Structure 1
C-alpha cells in the first residue's frame, strides 16, 4: 500500500520556519545533513527489515525521528517512531520485526515526498523560476523576428 499525504500535511511550516530562523545561515547545511542522514537511515532500516534484525532498526529509526521533527516533518517522524517502537519491543521479546513491515514499505516514499517539499521551500527560486520569459524578459524569438 502506497501512502500519499497532502503536501500541506507533510510539514508543519510553523516548526519549519522556527528552525530556519533559529539555525540562520546554517539552515541549508543542516538540511543537507538531514538529507544525507535520512537516506542512510532509510536504507539501514530497509536492510534491517530484510535481515529481520529489530536491533539494527532502532538507531536509524530514532535518528530519522529526531531529525524529521527538527524540520516539522511530523508524519515522517511519527512513522519512524512507530518503526523504532516496534523494533525496541521486538528486541526486548527477542522477536522478528514483522509488524514493522508495512511501515518500512511506506517509509522511503514518505521520506522522498517530505524531502522534496523541504528542498523546495529552502530554495524557492530553483523550483519557481519560469522556463521561458518571465518578469523583465522577452519571450525568446527566432533570429530576425521581433
Structure 2
C-alpha cells in the first residue's frame, strides 16, 4: 500500500474522537465501517457509469467520516475525488482521470479500517503509557 500504520491515522485525532465519543465510540466506528463500505461501492459504481455527479456525495461522506477518526490520508483521497468530481460536473465532463485515485480508494479504506478497529478492540494489549521507568510494581 505504501503507507505504514503510523501514517494512515493521526493517532492524536483518533484519541480525541475516542474521548469525545466515549461509550458511543465503538458503535460510531461501526457506522463508519457500514457507511464506508457503501460509499466505496457507490464511488466505484459511479466511476463505472462515468457519472461525476454520482461520485460527489459518497466521496463527501467518506471524507468527513474518515477525518472524524483521524484517517487523514483516506480523508484527503476522498476529498480529491469529491472536488475533482464537482469540477467535472461543472464542466459537464466525465471523471475518467479519477481512475487511479478510485483504484487506490478501496485498499486504503480497508487498511485504515483494520487499523482503527484493531486499536479500538478492548482485548488488544496496549503498551503502557509513559514507559514505566521509575514506577513501583505491585
- TM-score, structure 1 normalization: 0.84
**How far, CA to CA, are the matches of 2:123 and 2:55 in structure 1?**
37
| Superposed CA offset, 1:60-80 (max 9, x none) | 000000000000000000000
**Structure 1 stretches of at least 4 aligned residues deviating more than 4 Å after TM superposition:** none
Which position in structure 2 is the counterpart of 1:119? Answer: 117
Cα shift readout 1:43-94 (whole Å, capped 9, x = no counterpart): 0000000000000000000000000000000000000000001100000000
Q: Distance in 2 between matches of 1:127 and 1:90?
A: 47
Residues of 2 paired with 1:91 and 1:106: CA distance? 22
Unmatched runs of 5 consecutive residues or more in structure 2: 127-138
Residue 95 of structure 1 aligns to a residue whose secondary structure is coil
The 8 Å contact of residues 86 and 99 in structure 1, kept in 2 or not, is answered as no
Aligned residues: 126
Q: Which has the larger radius of gyration?
A: 1
Aligned match of 1:22 = 20
Higher deviation after alignment, 9-18 or 119-128: 119-128
Stretches of structure 1 lacking an aligned partner (at least 5 in a row)? 129-146
Instruction: Provide the rounded CA distance (Å) in 2 between the counterparts of 1:16 and 1:80.
Output: 18
Q: What's the counterpart of residue 50 of structure 1?
A: 48
RMSD value, Cα: 1.3
